[in-house]
Structure 1
Amino acid sequence: MAKSKAITLLSIGHACVDVYQGAVAALVPYFVAERSYTYAAVSGIVLAASLLSSVAQPLFGLATDRRAMPWLLPVSTLVAGSGIALSGLGGSYALTLLFMGIGGIGVAAYHPESARVARVAGGGSHTAMGWFSLGGNLGFALAPVLVAVVVGIGGLGLTPLLVLPALVGSLLTLPVLRGPERMTSAAPRTATAAAAPDDVASFVKLALAVVCRSIVFVGLSTFIAFYVRERTGGGAAAGTAALVVLYLGGAVGTVLGGALAERRDRVTVVRRSYLLTVGAVAGLVLLPGPALYVCVALTSAGLYVPFSLQVTLAQDYLPGRVGTASGITLGLTISIGGLFSPLIGRLADATSLQTALMPLIAMPALSWLLFRTLAEPAPPNAPRPVPGGGRAGRRR
């Protein structure tokens, strides 16, 4: 199968999975409206989807480092879709948490192996990985629209219809997995990986930066609809529009990140992106009126320029454990932020939503500081660059 066709199918499949991550936040206002949940209660729903995913994703990464599991792509897509599709049935909060958790496990199982397959299919190209990541961003962006059409019209009782993207995504994945034998090789490690050393210290710093980014993105995903309605005086449509802008801005940022990385090193691109994001988040929290939408778009683009670049950086820092690197990075990108979402919700219940969102301004600043200590990974058998210039020998 041609590289472009494989990446296109994987990108669409990625969209069909990540629509369920975006659907969690998109469903929150409907749980509030139909079941009168508090901010803290709906934060618990986000936490349920995030917690199991954050724990399970590195475990799936470890498993795929030992043996390639391409069959996980269609199976995990169906699991993710089934969990979210069942989340609106019944009035039990405990069952809602359970189904959200199942959806989170499906998402966790998908990402480490899909990142490996996508990088093989794209021949290691940053642009190809950017297009693959774009699919996930578009899935996020379409989630509020899908939820609004299905649940907005028929209520939470119609959530089973949300399984349709999972059915489509699982079918589209199959032609890629039947492609070249290298896609389904039982030995994910490449000769390059075997020759290059793992840089655990840099990987840990990268992971911490991803955590800070995750806190901002998941926090805004959960509460931006409520916040924009408060600040602009608009109705449900205003909140949904803000959520769509948040996700579409991410799509633009992802493609831009891949293109910039072909011209400059990834660390520099990511570092500058986080610095610009500090001002965008501050504007989002502090500025009133329609200017909010501009700040939402800039924040989203700034957070997503690093998205695919951080995945490939993680793989290059841990070339001998690509699945683990992908699982931790992709898991942290979405999942760990959900662990902080209940804290934001409780603070919002106790004070105001604006006050609760203010700490998010500091998160991209912390990511920027961490990236100031990182260097672009050196090619195999070449001296490793160090932050601030100069060269260091290969680490043993």
Structure 2
Amino acid sequence: MGVLAAGHAGVDFYQGAVPAMIPFLVAERHYGYVAASGLVLAATLLSSIVQPLFGLLADRLRLAWLIPVSMLAAGAGIGLVGPAGSYPLTWLAVALSGLGVAAYHPESARLARAASGGGHVAMSWFSLGGNLGFALAPLLVTPLLAAGGVGASPLLVVPALLGCVLTVAAMRAVGGRGAGGRPRVVAVRDDWAAFTRLALVMAARSIAYIGLSAFVALYAGGGASGAAALFAQFAGGAVGTVLGGALAARWGRVRTLRLAYALAVPAVAGVVLVPGPGVHVFAAAAGLALYVPFSLHVTLGQDYLPGHAGTASGVTLGLAVSAGGAVSPLIGALAEATSLRVALACLVAMPLLAWFLSRPLVEPAVSVPEPKT
């Protein structure tokens, strides 16, 4: 699981790289809020369609080969941002990276589920890898682009190469468990109504988290201060992921995610309302609260749809980014029409909505697929 988590970090690094690159693209290429948020949309637009489709295929076909290929695509897209030059080519490069990230998650989540035996804590460590990739992105992207400009982006392919090597080694070590063949038929019935409600919860959470990450660096002033705010949010998310697994093992998944969303409301509000260094503190708190439920969404979705684990993984992981990416241009347009502070203030309603929608959810019957051979 540790090696799989490291590979996950190599992929999700590119989700964190996009918002980290935005201040440099704004400065060098003079993009406005709408154009900048359009790149966030490019990174996530295909996820809303592609991840569920790949999840559906993962329920029927052997797609182990897709994991390393998608990792390389994620890195290649970000690497091409600098050479792309024009906005349309830059948008397509970022979209390629988003496509790679989208294709990676359904099959890798099922592989991790099988390797972990379905444990909440073990799955939270796999999710932690992705969050560490998020958190490392501004720390690596900011000094690299500060020194070499956007043209230095080809060097950002390195995490994808390293992650690919580690993941292929892990896949061989576990013998492809969970990464091929037809899933066995399970006795527990699929609960599509509960899964649909969970999907709405995840969409609200995505809008809050992705919307905040797209603009928090600019809101904090850009440069080192902006990178620190973005790192604080991503690092808080990493802590929240591990904390979520531990709390779920003690209190249950549904109770834990309700509490997390209740605490996320004042945390997101603090980013907007508390000036100065308080932005960094509340950015970390918001990241923590919004990521406590992250791995719980994945396992809840798989347990609500035990007969379609790949589909559940594709939808849950796709909605984790796609809903927020789709709404980001609207946030950018509102920021240009009013102010960035007003636009970010609207995000406070999202964790409140997630908490409200989660109230009828109950713990599903657990059914863990057997490892494939």
TM-score, L = length of structure 2:
0.96
Trace 1:354-373 onto structure 2 (pairs within 5 A): 354-373=341-360
Kindly indicate whether residue 134 of structure 2 is the aligned counterpart of residue 147 of structure 1.
no
Kindly indicate whether residue 246 of structure 2 is the aligned counterpart of residue 259 of structure 1.
yes
- Contiguous gaps of at least 5 residues in structure 2: 368-373
Larger mean Cα displacement after TM superposition, 144-153 or 340-349: 144-153
Kindly indicate whether residue 218 of structure 2 is the aligned counterpart of residue 226 of structure 1.
yes
The question of whether the paired residues in 2 share the 8 Å contact of 1:68 and 1:184 is answered with: no
| 1:216 pairs with one of 208, 213, 218 | 208
Deviation at 1:12, TM superposition (A): 0.3
**Distance of 2:329 and 2:196 partners within structure 1:** 25
Kindly indicate whether residue 56 of structure 2 is the aligned counterpart of residue 62 of structure 1.
yes
What secondary structure is seen at the aligned counterpart in 2 of 1:183?
coil
Trace 1:110-189 onto structure 2 (pairs within 5 A): 110-181=104-175, 183=177, 186-189=180-183
The question of whether the paired residues in 1 share the 8 Å contact of 2:17 and 2:137 is answered with: yes
Deviations 1:317-354 (A, max 9, x none): 01111111111110110122001000010111111001
Q: Structure 1 residues 73, 320: CA separation in 2 closer, same or farther (over 3 Å shift)?
A: same
**Distance of 1:333 and 1:217 partners within structure 2:** 9
Q: Structure 1 residues 74, 379: CA separation in 2 closer, same or farther (over 3 Å shift)?
A: closer
Task: Look up the match of 1:284.
Answer: 271
Identity across matched positions, percent: 58
The question of whether the paired residues in 2 share the 8 Å contact of 1:120 and 1:183 is answered with: yes
Larger mean Cα displacement after TM superposition, 85-94 or 267-276: 85-94
The question of whether the paired residues in 2 share the 8 Å contact of 1:213 and 1:333 is answered with: yes
Deviations 1:302-326 (A, max 9, x none): 0000000000000000111111111
Deviations 1:168-194 (A, max 9, x none): 011111122213446155335245xx2
**Distance of 2:226 and 2:87 partners within structure 1:** 24
Deviation at 1:90, TM superposition (A): 3.5
The question of whether the paired residues in 2 share the 8 Å contact of 1:68 and 1:113 is answered with: no
Kindly indicate whether residue 365 of structure 2 is the aligned counterpart of residue 378 of structure 1.
yes
Larger mean Cα displacement after TM superposition, 290-299 or 261-270: 290-299
Deviations 1:368-393 (A, max 9, x none): 0111010000246xxxxxxxxxxxxx
Task: Look up the match of 2:94.
Answer: 100
**Distance of 1:340 and 1:58 partners within structure 2:** 19
**Distance of 2:49 and 2:94 partners within structure 1:** 14
Q: Structure 1 residues 203, 157: CA separation in 2 closer, same or farther (over 3 Å shift)?
A: same
**Distance of 1:241 and 1:182 partners within structure 2:** 39
**Distance of 1:34 and 1:74 partners within structure 2:** 33
Deviation at 1:279, TM superposition (A): 1.1
**Distance of 2:223 and 2:145 partners within structure 1:** 13
The question of whether the paired residues in 1 share the 8 Å contact of 2:208 and 2:347 is answered with: yes
Kindly indicate whether residue 103 of structure 2 is the aligned counterpart of residue 109 of structure 1.
yes
What secondary structure is seen at the aligned counterpart in 2 of 1:263?
helix
Task: Look up the match of 2:370.
Answer: none
The question of whether the paired residues in 2 share the 8 Å contact of 1:196 and 1:319 is answered with: yes
Deviation at 1:277, TM superposition (A): 0.6
Deviation at 1:204, TM superposition (A): 0.4
Q: Structure 1 residues 184, 277: CA separation in 2 closer, same or farther (over 3 Å shift)?
A: closer
Larger mean Cα displacement after TM superposition, 106-115 or 61-70: 61-70
**Distance of 1:347 and 1:24 partners within structure 2:** 20
What secondary structure is seen at the aligned counterpart in 1 of 2:45?
helix
